[in-house]
C-alpha cells in the first residue's frame, strides 16, 4: 500500500459516505450546482464503482459492501449524469479542457452501463441513455464544437443546463408539429357563440317577415 494510505482512506470514506447519503436523500443536494461536491470531484471513481471495477489509488471495499456501493453509484449515474436536461459534460463525467483519453475511457464506461447489448438484465436506465451518450461523445470529440458548446453553457444562468447547445435545431416543420402537440400553435379564431334567446329572436323575426310577405301576395288586388 502506498505512503498516502491515510489520505486514500479519507478520500474513500468521503466518497462512500457521499454516495450512500445521496441515495438516501437525493433531494438534499442541488445537482445542477454540482452537489454533492465529493461525487462530482471523483465522478470517474463513481463511474468505475457503478461498472463494478476497482478504483485506482483507493483500497478495495469490503466484499459484503460491494453490491450496496455499486447500487448507490448506479443511482447517481442514472439520476444525475443521465437526468433529463443534463449537459454533455455532466453526462460523460467530464469538465471543459479534458484529456482525449478521459473522453474515451468515460464513453466506454457509460456505453457498457447503458447500452442494451452490454447492460445486465433488470437495469433501469433511461430508454434514450445510449443515444444521448453517443451524441455527447460525437460533439465533445470535436475541439471546435466542444469550445462552442462550453461557451454556450457559460452564457446560461448559474444552475441552468443546456443539453442541446451546439446541436443543429429541428426543422421548422418539426417545430410547428411540436407546438401543435403542446397547444402552442396558432388556432383559427373561434366563431362567436350566440345565445338561445338571440337565436329564437332572429327566427321569430324571420317568421314574421315571411308571413308578412305571404299575406301581401295573397291580399294583392
Tens digit of each residue's pLDDT (9 = 90 or more) over 187-217: 344 444 555 555 545 454 554 444 444 334 4
Does residue 203 lie within any of the structural domains?
no
Does residue 215 lie within any of the structural domains?
no
Residues 140-161: pLDDT tens digits?
999 999 999 999 999 987 555 4
Does residue 204 lie within any of the structural domains?
no
Q: Is 71 within 8 Å of 81 (Cβ atoms)?
A: no
Does residue 33 lie within any of the structural domains?
yes
Helices (DSSP H) in 25-128: which residue ranges? 37-41, 43-50, 66-76, 88-91, 100-114
Domain that includes residue 128, residue range? 85-180
Closest residue by Cα to residue 111 from 73, 137, 85: 137
Task: Report the domain count for the chain.
Answer: 2
Q: Is 88 within 8 Å of 140 (Cβ atoms)?
A: yes
Amino acid at each position: 500500500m502506498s505512503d498516502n494510505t491515510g489520505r486514500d482512506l479519507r478520500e474513500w470514506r468521503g466518497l462512500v459516505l457521499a454516495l450512500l447519503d445521496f441515495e438516501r436523500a437525493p433531494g438534499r443536494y442541488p445537482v445542477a450546482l454540482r452537489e454533492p461536491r465529493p461525487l462530482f470531484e471523483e465522478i470517474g471513481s463513481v463511474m468505475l464503482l457503478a461498472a463494478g471495477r476497482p478504483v485506482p489509488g483507493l483500497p478495495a471495499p469490503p466484499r459484503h459492501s460491494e453490491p450496496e456501493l455499486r447500487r448507490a453509484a448506479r443511482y447517481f449515474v442514472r439520476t444525475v449524469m443521465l437526468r433529463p436536461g443534463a449537459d454533455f459534460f455532466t453526462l460523460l463525467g467530464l469538465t471543459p479542457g479534458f484529456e482525449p483519453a478521459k473522453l474515451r475511457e468515460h464513453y466506454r464506461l457509460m456505453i457498457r452501463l447503458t447500452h442494451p447489448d452490454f447492460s445486465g438484465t433488470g437495469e433501469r436506465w433511461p430508454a434514450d441513455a445510449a443515444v444521448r451518450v453517443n451524441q455527447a461523445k460525437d460533439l465533445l470529440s470535436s475541439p471546435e464544437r466542444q469550445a462552442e458548446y462550453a461557451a454556450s453553457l457559460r452564457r446560461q444562468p448559474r444552475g441552468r443546463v443546456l443539453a442541446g447547445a451546439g446541436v443543429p435545431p429541428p426543422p421548422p416543420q418539426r417545430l410547428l408539429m411540436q407546438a401543435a402537440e403542446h397547444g402552442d400553435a396558432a388556432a383559427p379564431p373561434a366563431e362567436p357563440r350566440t345565445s338561445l334567446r338571440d337565436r329564437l329572436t332572429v327566427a321569430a323575426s324571420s317568421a314574421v317577415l315571411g308571413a308578412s310577405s305571404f299575406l301581401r301576395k295573397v291580399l294583392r288586388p
